[in-house]
Amino acid sequence: MPDPMASAVCMTGICKQFGAVAANADVDLRVVAGTVHGIVGENGAGKSTLMSVLYGFYQADSGRIEVNGQAASIRNADDAIALGIGMVHQHFMLVDTLSALDNVMLGAEPHWLLQRASTQVRSKLNALMQSTGLHIELNTLVADLPVGDRQRLEILKALYRGAKILILDEPTAVLTPQETTQLFGVLKRLREQGTTLILITHKLKEVMALCDTVTVMRAGRVVQDLPIAQASVEGLAQAMVGRRVNMGREAGQVAVAGEILLEAEHLSVTDSLGVERLKDVGLTLRAGEIVGVAGVSGNGQSELMDVLTGMLTPKYGHLQLLGHPFDNRHWLSPSMARHLGLAHVPEDRHARALVMAFAAWESAALGYDDLPDYATRGWMNHHHMRQATADMMERFDVRPRDTELPSSKFSGGNQQKLVLARELGRAPRVLLVGQPTRGVDIGAIEFIYGQLRALRQAGCAVLVVSSELDEILALSDRVLVMNQGRIAGELPIADCSEAALGLLMTGGNT
C-alpha cells in the first residue's frame, strides 16, 4: 500500500490566466504516490491546463510545485521528463510514417549509431512490455496500428523515458470497450508496480472503477477533493456542473411512433479486401422515435451509417427515404440526402464533420453552403453564414461565442455542439447520429440528450449509434444490436438491460 503521507505531486496556489479568462484560480492539488488520482470537470474547468502546467507546456502565473517532496521548477516538457513525469495526450503525439520502435527512440536515442541505439531501445522495450503487459509490434508503422495499440505505444514511450508519474488525458475517449478493459488492467498493474497515475476523464463510472482519489474542478477552481470510497457518480456530476443532472431516461418517456420515414432492406457491403462488413441488414425508422444501435465497435455500425447517409454504395440493397426509392445501381448521395431532409452527425467529428483549420462559421456551413440563404446565383453570402453561426452558437450554447475562432480551438464538447447545431438547426425529418457524446463532458451530454429528445418530440426519426450502453438505454425507444455485420436482435426498450444487450453483442440469444 502507498504511504498515505508521501506525495508524488503537490501543487499549491496555482494560477494561470489567458487574457481575461482565469483557467486556474488558486488551485491546490495533492497526489499520493502509487495511487490513481482522477481529475474531473466540464470542458473548460481547467483540468487540462493544470496538468499542462505540471508537464511544462504552460508556466503558472503564480504558485508552487513539488515533485516527490522537492520543490520543482518545470519550464518545459524536458524538465518534467527529467523529474519522472510523463503525459499521454488525448490526441496522440506520434509520427504515422515511423515504426513503433522509431517513435519511442525519436529524440531519446541512447547512441549516435542508430543501429546500436535501435538494439538497445528494443531490448529495453521488450523488458517493459513483459513487465507491464503493454504488448505491441515494434516494427509496425504507427499508421497501421489500431487505436488501442497507439495508446499503449504512448504509455510505453513515457515509461521508456523514466516516467514514474503518468498523466493520462481522456485515455478511453477513442477506445472500444474491450480496449478500455485492457487499458484498465495495464493501469492497475502499473499502480501495483509503484507508478503514480493522474487520470483526466469525463467518464465518471471509470473514475469510480479505477481511481483511489478524485478531484473535481469547476470554472478553474477545485470544488471537491475526496477518497473514491466517499464519492458517487451522482455526487461527482452535481459537483462538476453545480446542479443536479439527469443522465438517465426521462420519467414517463414514451414514444408514439408514426409513419415510416426510412426503410432499408438487404443491405450488404464488402470492403476492398473482400471482407463482408454488412450482411443482409434491414431496418425501419419511424417519425417520433429514437432507435439505438448497440454493438462492439467494428461490427458494421460505421458501414451502416455510411450507407444510410449516401457516403457508401452497398453491393446489394434497397432504401426508401421519405418516399424516394434507391437501389445499389442508383444510390442516395450525401447532397441529395440533405435536400430530402436527412441530417448526419458523423462518429469522427475531426475527420468527417469539421475542417479543423476552418473558422467556426465555415465549419457551420459545411454541406449547406448551396442553400438559398447561404448562396445566391452561385455566390456565397459570408455575412449570412456568420450571422447564422452566431445564432446557432447561442441556441446550442457553443463556447466561446466566436464565429471567427478556428474549429480546432474549441473543446471537444463545443466542437460536437457546433456540429449538432449545424445538423439539427434545420429541423431534419431524419437524423443519423454516431457516438453523439464521445469525449464530451457531463453537462454537454445532458444538453445533447435534451436536443435529441426534443427532435423526436417534433416528429423526427432519430438513429443513434453508440458504444456506450448507458447512452443507448437512456435515449432509445427501440434498440438494434449489431454483431459481425448483422442485426443480431431487436428489442423494445422495456425489454432492454445491459445484460440482455451484452449477450446479443457477443453473439448470444436473449
Same domain, yes or no: 299 and 171 = no
Same domain, yes or no: 198 and 318 = no
Q: What pLDDT is attached to residue 469?
A: 86
Q: What pLDDT is attached to residue 177?
A: 66
Q: Please provide residue 375's backbone torsions phi and psi, each rounded to the nearest 5 degrees.
A: -145, 145
Question: What does the DSSP assignment read for 496-508?
Answer: --HHHHHHHHTT-
Q: Record the cell numbers describing residue 80, joined without a space.
A: 518534467
CA distance 421 to 438: 16
Q: Whole domain around residue 489: which residue ranges?
A: 258-341+428-510
**Is position 406 within any domain?**
yes
Q: Record the cell numbers describing residue 262, joined without a space.
A: 426510412
Which residues, 6+ apart, have CB-to-CB distance to 275 below 8 Å?
none
Among 193, 240, 235, 304, which Cα is nearest to 45's?
A: 240
Same domain, yes or no: 63 and 88 = yes
CATH number where 447 lies: 3.40.50.300
Residue labelled with grid coordinates 496500428: 145
C-alpha dihedral (98, 104, 110, 112), degrees to nearest 10: 10
Which residues on adjacent β-strands are paired with residue 291? 463, 478
Q: How do the pLDDT tens digits run along the chain, 510 residues long?
A: 556 668 999 999 999 998 888 999 999 999 999 999 999 998 778 998 999 999 999 999 999 999 999 999 999 999 999 999 999 887 778 888 889 998 888 877 777 777 888 888 889 899 989 988 888 899 999 888 887 788 889 899 999 898 999 999 888 876 766 677 888 998 999 999 999 999 998 788 889 999 999 999 998 999 999 999 999 999 999 999 888 877 667 755 666 789 999 999 999 999 888 989 999 999 999 999 999 999 877 889 999 999 999 999 999 999 999 999 999 999 999 999 999 999 999 998 988 999 999 999 999 999 998 888 888 877 889 999 999 999 999 999 898 899 999 998 887 788 999 999 999 988 999 999 999 988 777 888 888 999 999 999 999 999 999 988 889 999 999 999 999 999 999 999 989 988 888 888 877 665
**Is position 250 within any domain?**
no
Which residues, 6+ apart, have CB-to-CB distance to 324 below 8 Å?
340
**Is position 347 within any domain?**
no
**Is position 437 within any domain?**
yes
**Is position 346 within any domain?**
no
3-state secondary structure 455-469: HHHCCCEEEEECCCH
Q: What pLDDT is attached to residue 301?
A: 94
Point out the domain boundary residue: 187, 207, 241: 241
Q: What pLDDT is attached to residue 42?
A: 84
Same domain, yes or no: 289 and 190 = no
Same domain, yes or no: 421 and 434 = no
**Is position 246 within any domain?**
no
**449-477 burial by CB neighbour count: b if 16+ within 10 A, else e?**
bebbbebbeebbbbbbbbbbbebbbbbbb
Same domain, yes or no: 176 and 321 = no
**Is position 178 within any domain?**
yes
Q: What is the DSSP letter of 481?
A: E
Report how many domains make up the chain. Answer: 3
Strands 213-218 and 221-227: antiparallel
CA distance 360 to 241: 25
CA distance 344 to 462: 10
Same domain, yes or no: 223 and 136 = yes
pTM here is 0.75
Which residues, 6+ apart, have CB-to-CB distance to 131 below 8 Å?
193
Cβ–Cβ < 8 Å for 466, 432: no
CA distance 487 to 299: 10
Q: What pLDDT is attached to residue 4?
A: 62
Same domain, yes or no: 399 and 452 = no
Q: What pLDDT is attached to residue 168?
A: 93
Point out the domain boundary residue: 395, 426, 457: 426
Same domain, yes or no: 280 and 413 = no
Same domain, yes or no: 471 and 501 = yes
Same domain, yes or no: 129 and 220 = yes
Tell me which amino acid residue 254 is: V
Same domain, yes or no: 265 and 134 = no
**Is position 251 within any domain?**
no
Strands 289-294 and 478-483: parallel
Point out the domain boundary residue: 410, 426, 442: 426
